[in-house]
A and B are shown apart, each in its own frame.
Chain A
Amino acid sequence: MTPIPSAAETARIQPAATAPDLLRNFCIIAHIDHGKSTLADRMLQLTGVVDERAARAQYLDRMDIERERGITIKSQAVRMPWAVTDAAGVSTPYALNMIDTPGHVDFTYEVSRSLAACEGAVLLVDAAQGIEAQTLANLYLAMENDLAIIPVLNKIDLPAAQPEKYAEEIGGLVGVDPEDVLRVSGKTGAGVLELLDKIVATVPAPVGDADAPARAMIFDSVYDTYRGVVTYVRVVDGQLNPRERIVMMSTRATHDLLEIGVTSPEPIPTKGLGVGEVGYLITGVKDVRQSKVGDTVTNNAKPADEALGGYSDPKPMVFSGLYPIDGSDYPILRDALDKLKLNDAALVYEPESSVALGFGFRVGYLGLLHLEIVRERLEREFDLDLISTAPNVIYEVTMEDKTILTVTNPSEFPGGKIGEVREPIVKATILAPSEFIGAIMELCQTRRGDLQGMDYLSADRVELRYVLPLAEIVFDFFDQLKSKTRGYASLDYDVIGEQAADLVKVDILLQGEQVDAFSAIVHREKAYAYGVSMTGKLKDLIPRQQFEVPIQAAIGARVIARETIRAIRKDVLAKCYGGDISRKRKLLEKQKEGKKRMKTIGRVDVPQEAFIAALSSEQTEPKDKGKK
């Protein structure tokens, strides 16, 4: 008998008319590249939701960027029919809701809401690579939410697969016998039928009160150019119906439900959504901020008294200045940010200007990946060339007179009597082969890390848990970690609070004039290193002027590092005769173009490229140009 439900069976699992015990809501927890999308595609095919020919690769990942980077930023949900025949030969139809989860560290809150919409999770691990830190963190999150965990090894068709080794590893983590870890291949389809059956057997059916006032949790909202905001919800209690008036409980804002439906895989309007069901709502709003992830939707006429738990506002943790390289692109950047904001509730920004970089925006992000994604989308979708300043975190500065300032930009760091500075800290989990323990500890040590614990996942893989200042992570920590572990380490972190720290602002001065884009808030012990590095970089990047230019790093009025750009002595082509004139004129025209693009700091002419290079350069050691 085919596992795809018959017509009679299908009638039992219609949206808004499915008994909760025939529903299974699950998600797949997996690392980038561990084959989640391929497995999801395979499930869509096997359940008949898409046919083989129509299956588009990586169906669930809608945005190009996600597809190219192999990551899923926005979660969605797909409803799939599935029938299971018991030992007595009785076939029962089920509606499976597969809820996709964002795969990255910056989106922990979104992940937690996706998990909260499920009763079970498939823990998917590449049989050739083993579990990664972010997957482990999400696994812990799922376990905290009491989800049923189905451990699965994927890509067992790969020659490099080591299913025994990794079955032991994840069996140990989840607390099951390695024998019970399913082995599948999303690519060949091996083991996927069994996995679907196992989901039905293992994941508990949703439980809710059908007669209570409606309560549905928003686990995602996506802006669509044609339809406005599409809100994805999981109904907990009661029922949502078409054309009724709903309330967003966090804001008390009311909207008319223009459409309600399920995705399978295209949106299908339905007569409503009942207890335990997952689907989408369209109300005509244009901004995802009006449909906040984690918020509770209820009926306006018969509202619930109490919202579902777990809601919080997205909070930007990392800030950086974003500037168009061509100053005349500023209005395009502003419009582009306004557009991105419609689909990104976590994106915040306000205009700022910099002597070095001109007009731009101070942008707040959930984390570094969020920053990268936003910047890449701006560059790609709006054809902008951008420069971003070094990312920094939020500091809370208490002055001696007890006034408190929140600093998101080093230039706002106060100069007066400071009582205490507090910075956000994270709990970081690092997974790596045990041979790199020393290198990782050394790195975390230099980043003011505090080791919380260490466990072996298997004979040669280890989990290190640290508390680290977020500021240390946003500054090239991940790159350093990768390079010190030959790419094998993975990292997850979650902001857990804040701590007081001895932090100072280091300013960079060019001939006595402060260059705003290079001010940084750093730990006092690292101020000197930052000063030496930045003055050295600028010395190499700024062309010599007709006068000597001191470059200083200073904490307040105290200079901690100094370099000098010697005055240029020769700027003339010695020879200029008949055959050189055209060439020389063209050279002059080019130089004049360059001169127009110079930024003037005090009396010093600096090509914008120099600022950009100093901001984007990876190099941390000052280098000597080797001139006499």
Chain B
Amino acid sequence: MSPARPEGLPAPADGALPTWVGDAASAGRFGVYLHVPFCTVRCGYCDFNTYTATELGGGASQVAFADTASLEIALAARTMREAGYPERSVSTVFFGGGTPTTLPATDLARLLGDVRTTWGLDADAEVTTEANPDSVSPEYLRVLAAAGFTRVSFGMQSAVPHVLATLERTHDPERIGDVVGWAHDAGLQVSLDLIYGTPGESLDDWRTSVDAAVAAGPDHVSAYALVVEAGTRMAGQVRRGELALPDEDDQATKYELADDLLTAAGFEWYEVSNWARRTPLDGPGTPATACRHNLAYWRGDDWWGIGPGAHSYLSGPMHDPRDDVFDTPDTPDTPDTPDAVASAAGLRWWNVKHPRRYAAALEQGHSPAAGREVLTDADAALERVMLGVRLREGLPIADLGPTARRNVAGNVAAGLLEGRAAVTGSAVLTRRGRLLADAVVRDLTDD
């Protein structure tokens, strides 16, 4: 989870939710995100909310983390119940970080157990953890699988030693094939994360990394362009001229190469930066190996984020956008408090970032939320386009506002949207469109 926190309204100490979050809940699925804010070392490019063991102590320590997070799970269930949120079992669970696998497998298993006993877990629930290739063993992975985990996502980043060194990643690239094998042996699906555009990475280096990822035999690959985030050690290196800023044209070329190689190896893009292997059992549409938890974010489903800095989102009774969203939003632009409005399109909040403050709040029986945001229909509509257009399954053109609908043709003509999909009522990005997706979003949210 990114630490950059939007400015918002203060969150109540008891974490009470407005009752309208329960109203529309029957429509969506419910997921749980667990943020484990620990790493053995912090990588230079990383701006996520994570800490090394030496940076923390007391109730914020790794040893106490599962106990603390467990308190938030209880608080979540209580406040949802009090707001009238309907009984709902969990469809997807995602452990992110940080490096969740710096915790003992039994801690992760225990937290998943808490989720299961608190809300219930769908029979076919997807349960993923992120992992560092050098922090797992066959035994560790077997414990996770036995506890109900179904999927593991390894931070591979690159197969090239000098690129890993620039990223300050410590794992041995040779290990990737082994860990993928161990995970499969344990019955887990595997995703590999890659980063392209690292300073000093050649096109051949990138080809080597994608080939190595494919050769390791994962079910899913994510590939992200490196972004030098303000405040990271890498940003300092760039500022001092020690590293070159990633070049966007080079990143575009690498994206296209990755898409070619992955497609040739039987993967399909289902989101701008995500590819899933299609299996013979898949029907049409998004392959089953896609990450369902992430799909829930892009589709606007509900989720609760447990852990320091985690964001949560519960939708409200959204109106049919074709009726009035683009003309006269019937919720105020800047509602004062969530309870001051009879209803809204959604409620989002985020927890305090530091593990110590997070632990302190929960130990005192308070909500760890730091701030909240009430989404108007217009906000929610904007987010729906912004997120939905990233997906291969596309966005119904009928859901767009009148000006945006008129802009579809221009985007088809410019080669950014698929013409065939547009004819059948969907806005689906072409490959060129995927690289220029933000421009498409600006056009499709014109009012």
- Any B CB within 8 A of the CB of A569: yes
Known: A569-B252, A589-B382, A628-B250. A581 touches B311 (CB 8 A): yes
Contact A578 B250 (CB under 8 A): no
Known: A570-B252, A578-B303. A628 touches B1 (CB 8 A): no
- Any A CB within 8 A of the CB of B170: no
Known: A579-B350, A592-B442. A574 touches B224 (CB 8 A): yes
Chain A residues in 8 Å Cβ range of B437:
571-572
Contact A570 B2 (CB under 8 A): no
Chain A residues in 8 Å Cβ range of B297:
576-578, 581
CB-nearest residue of chain B relative to A572? B437
- The one of B4, B310, B350, B438 in contact with A572, judged by C-beta atoms closer than 8 angstroms, is B438
Chain B residues in 8 Å Cβ range of A592:
442, 445-446
Contact B227 A573 (CB under 8 A): yes
- Any B CB within 8 A of the CB of A582: yes
Bound complex: CA of A568 vs CA of B248, how far in Å? 9
Contact B2 A573 (CB under 8 A): no
Contact A571 B348 (CB under 8 A): no
Chain B residues in 8 Å Cβ range of A595:
442
Contact A577 B252 (CB under 8 A): no
- Any B CB within 8 A of the CB of A486: no
Looking at A546, A566, A574, A588, the one whose CB has the most chain B CB atoms below 10 A away is A574
Bound complex: CA of A591 vs CA of B1, how far in Å? 23
- Any B CB within 8 A of the CB of A584: yes
Bound complex: CA of A579 vs CA of B224, how far in Å? 16
CB-nearest residue of chain A relative to B411? A546
Contact A572 B249 (CB under 8 A): no
Looking at B6, B273, B350, the one whose CB has the most chain A CB atoms below 10 A away is B6
- The one of B309, B313, B414, B441 in contact with A581, judged by C-beta atoms closer than 8 angstroms, is B313
Contact A588 B438 (CB under 8 A): yes
Summarize B's interface: helix, strand, loop or mixed.
mixed
- The one of A546, A582, A586 in contact with B348, judged by C-beta atoms closer than 8 angstroms, is A582
Contact A580 B2 (CB under 8 A): yes
CB-nearest residue of chain B relative to A581? B383
CB-nearest residue of chain B relative to A566? B249
Chain A residues in 8 Å Cβ range of B311:
578-579, 581-582
Chain A residues in 8 Å Cβ range of B377:
none
Bound complex: CA of A588 vs CA of B438, how far in Å? 8
Bound complex: CA of A576 vs CA of B310, how far in Å? 14
Contact B445 A588 (CB under 8 A): yes
Task: Give the Cβ gap from A205 to chain B, nearest Cβ, in Å.
Answer: 73
Chain A residues in 8 Å Cβ range of B248:
568-570
- 1/0 contact trace for B88-107 toward A, CB 8 Å? 00000000000000000000
- Any A CB within 8 A of the CB of B434: yes
Bound complex: CA of A579 vs CA of B435, how far in Å? 22
- 1/0 contact trace for A541-578 toward B, CB 8 Å? 00000100000000000000000001011111111111
- 1/0 contact trace for B415-447 toward A, CB 8 Å? 010000000000000000011111101100110
Bound complex: CA of A569 vs CA of B33, how far in Å? 34
Known: A570-B252, A571-B435, A627-B249. A582 touches B6 (CB 8 A): yes
Contact B435 A581 (CB under 8 A): no
Chain A residues in 8 Å Cβ range of B4:
580, 583
Contact B386 A570 (CB under 8 A): no
CB-nearest residue of chain B relative to A573? B438
CB-nearest residue of chain A relative to B8? A582
- Any A CB within 8 A of the CB of B387: yes
- Any B CB within 8 A of the CB of A402: no
Chain A residues in 8 Å Cβ range of B441:
588
Residues of B1-54 at the interface with A, using a CB-CB cut-off of 8 Å, are: 1-2, 4, 6, 8, 33
Chain B residues in 8 Å Cβ range of A627:
247, 249
Chain B residues in 8 Å Cβ range of A69:
none
Chain B residues in 8 Å Cβ range of A580:
2, 4
Contact B249 A569 (CB under 8 A): yes
Contact A577 B294 (CB under 8 A): yes
Bound complex: CA of A573 vs CA of B438, how far in Å? 7
Contact B6 A570 (CB under 8 A): no
- Any B CB within 8 A of the CB of A585: yes
Bound complex: CA of A577 vs CA of B130, how far in Å? 14
Task: Give the Cβ gap from B338 to chain A, nearest Cβ, in Å.
Answer: 15
Contact B348 A568 (CB under 8 A): no
Contact B436 A546 (CB under 8 A): yes
Task: Give the Cβ gap from A201 to chain B, nearest Cβ, in Å.
Answer: 70
Known: A569-B252, A585-B379, A628-B247. A579 touches B305 (CB 8 A): yes
CB-nearest residue of chain B relative to A626? B244
Contact A576 B390 (CB under 8 A): yes
Task: Give the Cβ gap from A375 to chain B, nearest Cβ, in Å.
Answer: 35
Residues of A563-621 at the interface with B, using a CB-CB cut-off of 8 Å, are: 566, 568-586, 588-589, 591-592, 595
Contact A585 B386 (CB under 8 A): yes
Bound complex: CA of A136 vs CA of B272, how far in Å? 71
- The one of B294, B379, B390, B439 in contact with A546, judged by C-beta atoms closer than 8 angstroms, is B439
CB-nearest residue of chain B relative to A588? B386
CB-nearest residue of chain B relative to A569? B252
CB-nearest residue of chain A relative to B371? A582
Bound complex: CA of A571 vs CA of B313, how far in Å? 27
Contact B386 A584 (CB under 8 A): yes
Cross-chain pairs A/B with CB under 8 angstroms, 19 sampled: A570-B249, A570-B255, A570-B436, A572-B434, A572-B435, A574-B272, A575-B227, A575-B273, A577-B294, A577-B297, A581-B387, A582-B8, A582-B350, A589-B382, A592-B442, A592-B445, A595-B442, A627-B247, A628-B247
